[in-house]
Amino acid sequence: MAKGDRSKPGTLLSMAFLIASAVVVVVTVLLSVWYHGNWNQAATASGVVATVVAAGVLLGTGQGWANGRRLSLAAISTGVVGLAAVSLAVVTYVGGTSNVGLVDAAPSTPSSQQAASEGAALSQATSNNVVEPPGYSHDLGAHPMYGQFMSMSDTQILANTPGGTLTPDEVPVLKAQLQEARAFALNHDTVEKARAAGYFNTTNDVPFMGAHFINAQYLSDGVFDPSKPEGLLFSKIGNPSGDWHLVGVWYLIFPRQAGSSATVPPQGFAGNLDLWHAHSGLCTRNGVISENNTAEGCAADHGNYIPDLRWMMHVWVYPESGVDNSAGVFSYLNQDLYAKQQGDPNQPQGLTKNSIGDSIQ
């Protein structure tokens, strides 16, 4: 058999490895682009491994480097694949794009450990705040109430808000936005007015929050507008046989609306004082809602299951009900409201912020 014939199997083998390597790299790179960088590490690893394997095959054949000075197609292909792999490695690990999780997808379903205590704890809230002091899982920290925002000077407001949440230029913009939310609340301060405007109730009188009335039209437009909140918060304030009282407004923006994603909250009020939060594993049963449920558990209770609901924000701009929020206009929970809600003998007593789920099962 001639020397050229003996080298043919080695040539075919090296070319096969190179083609397979190129396909692997191309596919993982395309996945990386398609899934917003979440496959960068896989693309890098596949490219490096493919290059090493292809180089090893070439060194053992009559092609490329083993053949002396002749630059064969196999050798050139190996170099191209290798250069692409090294470049991707530099972009991924030096450029800082190796962070995974920046993908517009809903979080995974609750684990079995979470499912064992359905509705027993609050979901982890996420904030777009730049500065979040330790100990505040749902609130940035104490800040002015609505009335204080309107009565304080800009300098006083800056002195009474957590560092990094507002700049001097943002204060007057935020004031104007809060006034818009306040004006809407004044015009929709009864259940009758709310229903006439298209709002309907979706929950019970949730401790620390109140009942969540929602407007389908505002919810579907995907726009953040301080003057058109997606929801209104009403409470019976401890008197189950009494009337509903407006206590605040709330906003709901779905991922991919108003510049948001599954991991990035919307751009809402000016500054970083507003707090967007999320809920996981919601289950509504005849208007009573709990969270951290599993789909199976909710179905067994004949409830309506929502695996993930984000982004939401409460704004307390209606103290006329006799309930303000001393923790601040953007605080997630309202301790002052809950103190009044405890007047209801049917409400569980002695609850804390971390046991809200127990009271709304």
Identify which of 315, 269, 230, 252 has the alpha carbon closest to the alpha carbon of residue 128: 269
* Structure-token pair, residue 221: 């437009």
- Cα distances from 336 to residues 5, 104, 240, 319, 333, in angstroms, run 88, 36, 18, 11, 9
What is the per-residue pLDDT across 17-27, written as a single tens digit (0 to 9) for each? Answer: 667 766 776 66
CA distance 206 to 360: 7
What are the φ and ψ backbone dihedral angles of 248, each rounded to 5 degrees? Answer: 180, -175
Higher pLDDT, 148 or 84: 148
d(CA 268, CA 279): 18
For residues 172-201, average pLDDT: 97
At residue 71, the pLDDT reads 54
What pLDDT is stored for residue 64 in this prediction? 53
pLDDT digits (tens, 9 = 90+) for 259-281: 888 888 898 999 988 888 888 88
**pLDDT tens string 123-137:** 233 333 333 333 334
User: What pLDDT, on a 0 to 100 scale, did the predictor assign at position 228?
Assistant: 97
Cα dist from 59 to 52, 55, 79, 263, 268, whole Å: 11, 6, 13, 47, 60
**Per-residue pLDDT for 114 more than 90?**
no
Phi then psi for residue 308, to 5 deg, are -155, 130
